[in-house]
Chain A
């Protein structure tokens, strides 16, 4: 009883608790029963029932002591048999007067712990039958009370024993009822809590089901047994608000691919039932007569009794439209791509044409530039020619005053009257010679300038450059001998060129003299000839001081000279260039300062038959 506060959760635990409690009560009562039975037997007599009841009580006490080692069922069995033994022995001895008969009430309690309700009832009825049998045996006189009943009733130990037995039975039943109620109460509370949890969960699931935007149908066959609000709305939309009980009513007769809707739908469902995680698309016709696309995913739900199909319809019309738009866009893009490729090809063609044009233009520009520089050169030379013609005349006239005066002075000095002044004459002679030198120099420059002013002596004849060069070398012998060694690499079958011998003579005289003057001490000049592309090429290579690049640019400029004043006019190379150009030739200088200079001249070769003619 003190342990009533213990939480009892399961029927097994309740049974165990009951058995334990009963065993405890019985053990205590057995202890007192043994004392009372022994006292009464001592006062009255030792009966058979005494020798049955006392060991039984002792056995129960022993069972109580070793209760921890025994199973509940064994303990129940011991208690049941104990009760039956005590009951039987009491009734055998005292018949109706036996106080132990109250223990019959406890038989169904313990037997119900061992067996089911029916068996317990059978056991109870059997025990009752035994009791009735014993009663019959007493009535018939086969059994007799061993003692004077009055004496037994008046014995206080009998009453005490009776009270104990009643107390024990009452306590056991009370405990039983108490525990039963407690468990019942607890179960109710538990059920209430569970109910609350369940109803909350149910609400959640309902919300989940109802609020899903997708339409959810639960089918049994094709019959709809449940659908969520979306599904209801969908069916109302499609069926003008009619009540829907067959899913197939949602389907139009045919799908857009031409298949009949119902067989297609069923075939798809079948496929789905065979393989999980699949879905298919289907088209439904709305009340407005519009096509709507749905994606259907289904799952087959098997319960013990039935097979259901859950269908989830997702409206994919907008997605379909988007897909269609994307498809259209892609087609358009592909077309654009093709157009762009075409344009690109055209552009590339245009580009290569442009590049070609650009190259042509560049070539033209280069030609123009070279023509321009030639024109500038020609114009420069022409202007110079006009200028020099005028200048020459204007200088020659005053120069003539001096020259004529000098001649006149000579005439005067010839006079005999002055012969006496020999010293004066010597001095005057010195001055006169100086003046004559000055006149000659100026006159020489003016004569050189005349080269620019006219294209005189246009006599052209086939000439051999090697002959002209040999001639030049002969003239320059005094300048070259002992100082400059000249190597000439003559060519067999040297071609002729058309030219003016004296002008070409001037050219090579000038160039060889320049080369010789460029050599400070001893050195070499090498002259090579070769023919290339109808051009006759002459190379003059010296081992002189070379020409620095900044000077190389200016060597053809008229009046440009590096020689000290009076030593050169600065006209030599510009005249040389003029003459070479007049011969449709070219002249080019390459120089390595400190190592020497190479002059390359090219003249057009005279065709052979002309040369012979």
Chain B
């Protein structure tokens, strides 16, 4: 069974690196540190199964980015990742409904894997 292909977007390079390392054995992690990079990655790798985005980013937040990507490509299952509690004000975004799931930092590896697998499973 092939490892699921995931695009992870975060403005902090260290997070990108750590995420890739922690899922080295379980996921194919593609990374992008700006919205432009994310666009490029999706154009180059249309087979990406899951989008995971950080919430707080300088150009646009995670919801806005996913909304954009969904509209330009296709409604790929997407997760938001943040240090904020899911009920915090910042999370009350209109596009929240379209998001598959929410991971709060510090990340729970198994929980993430389960959710991703669930998303891929239902989607397929």
Contact = CB atoms under 8 A, between A and B. Distances in A.
A400 B83 contact: yes
B107 interface: yes
B104 to A, nearest CB: 7
A397 B21 contact: no
A393 interface: yes
Contacts of B23: 407, 411
B88 A403 contact: no
Nearest to A456: B87
A393 B87 CA distance: 12
B106 A400 contact: yes
Interface size class of A (residues with CB under 8 A): 20 to 34
Contacts, number: 71
B104 A404 contact: no
Interface string B79-121: 0001111011000000000000000111101000000000000
Contact of A389 (B21, B88, B105, B109): B88
Interface string B1-35: 00000000000001100110111110000000000
Q: For chain A, what secondary structure do more than half of its interface residues adopt (helix, strand, loop), or is it mixed?
A: helix
Given A404-B18, A408-B18, A393 B83 contact: yes
Nearest to A397: B83
Contact of B25 (A393, A395, A403, A411): A411
Given A400-B15, A401-B18, A408-B22, A389 B106 contact: no
A397 B88 CA distance: 15
B107 A407 contact: yes
Nearest to B25: A411
B106 A454 contact: no
Interface string A432-472: 00000001000100000010011010000000000000000
Nearest to A402: B106
Instruction: Indicate the size class of the contact surface on chain B.
Output: 20 to 34
A408 B21 contact: yes
A396 B104 contact: yes
A397 B23 CA distance: 18
A429 interface: no
B8 to A, nearest CB: 11
A399 B84 CA distance: 12
B85 A439 contact: no
A186 B47 CA distance: 181
A561 to B, nearest CB: 23
Contact of B85 (A392, A399, A405): A392
Contact of B106 (A403, A411, A412): A403
A553 interface: no
Nearest to B110: A407
B85 A407 contact: no
A393 B18 contact: no
Contacts of A407: 18, 21-23, 107, 109
Given A389-B84, A392-B84, A400 B21 contact: no
B22 to A, nearest CB: 3
A408 B19 CA distance: 8
Contacts of A242: none
A403 B85 contact: no
A411 B107 contact: no
A403 B87 contact: no
A269 to B, nearest CB: 118
A409 to B, nearest CB: 9
B83 A394 contact: yes
Closest 9 pairs (CB-CB, A-B): A396-B83, A407-B22, A408-B21, A403-B106, A400-B105, A404-B18, A393-B83, A396-B105, A456-B87
Interface of A: 389, 392-397, 399-405, 407-408, 410-412, 414, 439, 443, 450, 453-454, 456
30 contacts: A389-B84, A389-B85, A389-B88, A392-B85, A393-B88, A394-B83, A396-B82, A396-B84, A396-B106, A399-B83, A399-B106, A400-B106, A401-B15, A403-B105, A404-B15, A404-B107, A405-B18, A407-B18, A407-B21, A407-B23, A408-B18, A408-B21, A408-B24, A411-B21, A411-B22, A411-B23, A443-B106, A450-B85, A450-B87, A456-B87
